A and B are shown apart, each in its own frame.
Chain A
Amino acid sequence: IVLTQSPGTLSLSPGDRATLSCRASQSVDNNYIAWYQQKPGRAPSLLIYGASRRATDVPDRFSGSGSGTDFTLTISRLEPEDFAVYYCQHYGSSPGYTFGQGTKLEIK
């Protein structure tokens, strides 16, 4: 499965709503899509799994949705610390797990 994220870069202001897209080349079983956040010089961290389930300690301004081939990460009201790169990932099936190419969320 190939994952295509859009846009490549998203320029928004604190307080704005962010909508990030992840499209799969074929239908994803069990909605096995995860989202990760990566800040510069840091390891990624898990935000969302199962397309819509927030990981432990993730603020509720982060939400995931979607099914089939189209998935979305929404950040309802951007905080300064949310500006980072976001990756979606398909997991749970052979031959292997794949990441999207990432969306950079930058301050406008």
Chain B
Amino acid sequence: QVQLVESGGDLVKPGGSLRLSCAASGFSFSDYYMAWIRQAPGKGLEWLAYISRDSTYINYAASLKGRFTISRDNAKRSLYLQMNGLRVEDTAVYYCARDHRSGYHLSWGQGTPVTVSS
């Protein structure tokens, strides 16, 4: 069955960096767009970015202002999110998702928590 397992979440100081990973199994990873979505504590969902099957197409939420970078390694069946210049407001659970090519999220990982605090 489809499995997405995020890792890399941690407690980090403001201004710090973190790299999240998402390990995929149970489907042909290279055939799917992938995405990152986050959810701040007690808040709603915020779409962050998507990446196409071969990394040709990438799109980010405007709110990220170039601080985050999505990437993938199809050989390793893995999705990544490099987060730089972290702010307190980036505190959230970060989910990776397997996307239909049109953009809706077919399946989600269980999430990895990121806390930005001094």
Most B-side CB within 10 Å, residue of A43, A87, A89, A94: A43
Please indicate the chain B residues that have their CB under 8 angstroms from the CB of A101 in the complex.
Answer: 44
Seen from chain A, the residues whose Cβ lies within 8 Å of a Cβ on chain B are: 30, 32, 34, 36, 38, 42-46, 49, 55, 87, 89, 91-92, 94-102
Nearest residue (CB) in B for A85 is B44
Seen from chain B, the residues whose Cβ lies within 8 Å of a Cβ on chain A are: 44-47, 50, 59-62, 95, 100, 102-111
Cα-based distance from A66 to B81 in the complex (angstroms): 35
**Once the chains bind, are B59 and A91 in contact (CB under 8 Å)?**
no
Please indicate the chain A residues that have their CB under 8 angstroms from the CB of B59 in the complex.
Answer: 94-96
23 contacts between A and B (CB under 8 A): A32-B102, A32-B103, A34-B104, A36-B45, A44-B108, A45-B107, A46-B105, A46-B106, A55-B106, A87-B45, A89-B105, A91-B102, A92-B103, A94-B59, A95-B59, A95-B61, A96-B61, A96-B62, A97-B47, A97-B50, A99-B47, A100-B44, A102-B45
